[in-house]
Amino acid sequence: MYLSKLVISNYRSIKELSLKFEKGKNIIVGKNNAGKSNIIKAIDLILGENSPTWHKSDNITENDFFGGNTKKPIYIFCELERDADEDLNYDEIYQCFGYKYHAEIVEWVQRGNKKYPIKQAIRHTLNNATFTAFISSLDAVMNIGENDEGIENYYVNPKLRNQGTFETEFQNKFSFGFGFRATELPSGKFHKEIRFFYRESQNENWVMAFSAPVRNELLQSAIIHSFRDPQNELRINQWSWFGKLLKEYIKSDDPELAKAFQQLKSASIGVFKDLQADINSPKVKVAFPNTTVSFQFNPDTKLDVYKSALIYVDDGFNSLLQEKGSGIQSAVIIGLYNYYTQKIAHTSSSLLAVEEPEIYLHPQARRVISNRIDDFLQGNKNQVIITTHSTEFITSAHENLNIIVAKKQHQKSTEAKNTKFDTSKEKQILVKAQNAEMFFADKVILVEGGDKYILEALAKYFGANVIPDLGENWFNESNISVIAVGGKTEFWKYVKKLNELTIPVLVLADFDFFLRQLSEYFTGLEFQKEVHDELNALRSKLNTSKVALTKNILNHIETFALSIIGEGIKADEKAIRNSLKEPLRIKRLNQFDNAKQELIVAYLKRLRKVNLFILNNELEDYYTEHCNSLCGKISGKEEKPIHIVSRLVSAEQPIINFVNPDEYFDFLSFVAS
């Protein structure tokens, strides 16, 4: 069982949101105040700790309504999916309260002198055509009250286990849902209600129950919020997972435990003897007349002893868990929950939701927590939902990830988009730790490799000197990330994922990309046929695929090499080919005549409409003579740019002394606009 869908309306920073989750690991990313925590809070509200006081608790206030508008209800819908071979633990389910579902009378049966109704469930449609349609249909269903006039219901009674009551309801059901609505009453208080839905499959309509006592029995969950609170997250009661863990091992009728308590009770009599004598004297009068106050260390053994348990951690200093740092608290809570789900939990799968597991942790400690989370997954048997700003929880080549990017549009409502990384090609994007920052960006610039460092240095100069209103750090202040994709063939893969997440993306490529990779780029992004036709038409005019002189020379190299060998001289045919081929290879715009240059320039300008900016040369052609003289033998495509920006650029020697900036400035103007 896993959380497959979450729909939220009018809750906190979220006006409208519909998200899909996957089995295994789901990562919610986004910059600060994007609304990530509110997604977790919505999940916690429905799938968190289930107790009889849920309806009475103050888990909904005026601040929980979007924009503070309490006139519009809050709606949250969670859908769970059960695997075809997944068994339900009916021993646990039969400990739940019964519930009534919406039904209708289909016939009457005569039994003796009385007639009894035969009822069957009424099926309800939750319309998925649009977000508005779904919320409207959910609202209509929740408006049906079990005690309304003309409404029939059927009671599912857990006391009738011998009749297989719950088995009859659930054995062929593989989709379960929980619908929540919060409204403001005329008194100013808030009314909360939750409904339970279930059906055979995605193609069927829903059975609707008027209450939802069965929740944690289907999917046990643990929610760890960003502000660690062990006393809250490790609540000890008969409904919480931690309470169940302790209850499994701590028996109040244990003879050894009873003996120890009695010894402690006897000792406490001596410790508190004088204090009790003072406060019970007629002069002090602490209690009512004819009553006596006493003190003891131990709880009454008739009560649930497990509720008095405390957790101590010794990391060189033995103290309570809540007195330790956030990292230790996170590791202990996750570890205990993992233990509970493996050894004690009665559900086939469990959910762990953790906000900012990296908080206050150094990189190695973050990886420790990441490993703890991976252990909990148990090969995707369990489900994890994480909110994070850290690359340690995104950079992975070993597992399938569902990435959810949360952001606020115009600083108003939280929006979110999904994309999956489940193939080796897609995972290549995640392997580089620096690439993870693109998920937090408002705009991404993709470059091939070392030009990342040159572009970032030029952007600082541009913001400080060309358009001073931008400021030197305008990339960071505008939340713009420059990502090196590692090769021309990789551009389309990144663009595809960023498009799925609706993160604006621009590509800055050299002229060689136009000549040799543009067609593949269009294919990878599934551009329309007309786009390919236009490119092919241009190339036929340029005749770049058949440069007659180059081809003629290369074809004669073999003959030339053989003739040399015939004279008794050793000849390396491959070396000859490479030495001749490189100077004849077209790499720059100015290698074409003027007429063809005009055609190319016009075409490249049109490409900017799809955020594709192509330079007229290769990166190496933009280095100044002054730069090349200072770099000496340093020539690597990534090493040289790093050497320039880290060793050569200074206040006295700005980046424009080493790189001809005109085309880059043209691009930066394009980005800024």
Of the pLDDT bands very low, low, confident and very high (cuts 50, 70, 90), residue 594 is very high
Check pLDDT > 90 for residue 480: yes
Q: Which of 75, 24, 79 is closest to 218 using CA atoms?
A: 79
pLDDT at 26 > cutoff 90: yes
Asked whether residue 52 carries a pLDDT value surpassing 50, the answer given is no
pLDDT of residue 274: 79
Q: What is the mean pLDDT of residues 510-535?
A: 94
Amino acid 627: pLDDT: 94
**Rounded mean pLDDT of the chain?**
84
More confident residue, 349 or 120: 120
Q: What pLDDT shows up at residue 582?
A: 46
In one-letter notation, the amino acid at residue 53 is: T
User: What string of DSSP letters covers 510-579?
Assistant: -HHHHHHTHHHHHHHTT--HHHHHHHHHHHHHHTTT--HHHHHHHHHHHHHHHHHHHTT----HHHHHHH
d(C-alpha 251, C-alpha 259), whole Å: 13
> At 87, is the secondary structure helix, strand, or coil?
coil
Question: In this predicted model, which residue has the larger pLDDT, 628 or 421?
Answer: 628
What would the two tokens of residue 16 be?
Answer: 């409208």
* For residues 542-557, average pLDDT: 58
pLDDT band of residue 570 (cuts 50, 70, 90) is low
More confident position, 141 or 95: 141
How many residues comprise the chain?
673
Is the pLDDT assigned to residue 577 strictly greater than 70?
no
The whole-number pLDDT of residue 222 equals 84
Q: Which residue has the higher pLDDT, 326 or 131?
A: 131
Among the residue ranges 19-33, 397-411, 497-511, 570-584, the one predicted with the least confidence is 570-584
How far apart CA 314 and CA 319 sit, in angstroms, is: 6
Which H/E stretch holds residue 277?
helix 273-279
Whether 145 has a pLDDT exceeding 50, the answer reads yes
pLDDT band at 13 (very low <50, low <70, confident <90, very high): very high
Query: Given this model, what pLDDT does residue 324 score?
Result: 79
Q: Which amino acid is at 22?
A: E
Q: How far apart are CA 441 and CA 475, in angstroms?
A: 10
Phi, psi of 505 (to 5 degrees): -140, 140
pLDDT grade for 358, boundaries at 50, 70 and 90: confident
Topology of domain 241-420, per CATH? Rossmann fold (3.40.50)
Determine the pLDDT at residue 190.
92
| Contact predicate 330/321, CB 8 Å | no
Indicate the residue type of 378. Answer: Q
Which residue has better confidence, 673 or 581?
673
- 302: pLDDT strictly greater than 60: no
Q: What is the pLDDT of residue 110?
A: 87
Which residue in 512, 499, 513 sits closest to 610, CA to CA?
499
Q: Check if the beta carbon of residue 661 is closer than 8 Å to that of residue 655.
A: yes
Greater confidence, 400 or 84?
Answer: 84
Task: Report the 3 state secondary structure along 214-247.
Answer: CCCCCCEEEEECCCCCHHHHCCCCCCCHHHHHHH
Note the pLDDT of residue 546.
Answer: 45
List the strands of the sheet with 24-29, edge to edge.
220-224, 350-355, 383-388, 24-29, 401-409, 413-421
Task: Please tell me the predicted confidence (pLDDT) of residue 357.
Answer: 85
| Most trustworthy range by pLDDT among 48-52, 206-210, 282-286, 631-635 | 206-210
Q: Where is average pLDDT lowest: 85-89, 427-431, 553-557, 654-658? A: 553-557
Contact 112, 94 (CB under 8 A): no
Give the pLDDT confidence score for residue 581 in this predicted structure: 47
pLDDT at 342: 79
For residue 578, pLDDT over 60 is answered with: no
Range(s) for CATH 3.40.50 in the chain?
A: 241-420
The percentage of residues in the chain with a pLDDT greater than 90, rounded to a whole number, is 50
pLDDT of residue 43: 94
How much is the pLDDT for 241? 64
Neighbours of 225 (CB within 10 A): 17
pLDDT for 583: 47
Reported pTM: 0.77
Tokens of 115: 């007639």
Q: Confidence class of residue 396 from pLDDT cuts 50, 70 and 90?
A: low
Given this model, what pLDDT does residue 210 score? 96
The yes-or-no verdict on residue 407 having pLDDT over 60 is yes
Question: Which of 292, 354, 335, 486 minimizes the C-alpha distance to 27?
Answer: 354
Q: Kindly state the percentage of the chain with pLDDT values over 70.
A: 82
How far apart (Å, rounded) are the C-alpha atoms in residues 501 and 19? 12
- Digit-coded pLDDT (tens) for 149-194: 989 999 999 999 999 899 999 999 999 999 999 999 999 889 999 9
pLDDT at 56 over 70: no
- pLDDT of 566 reads 62
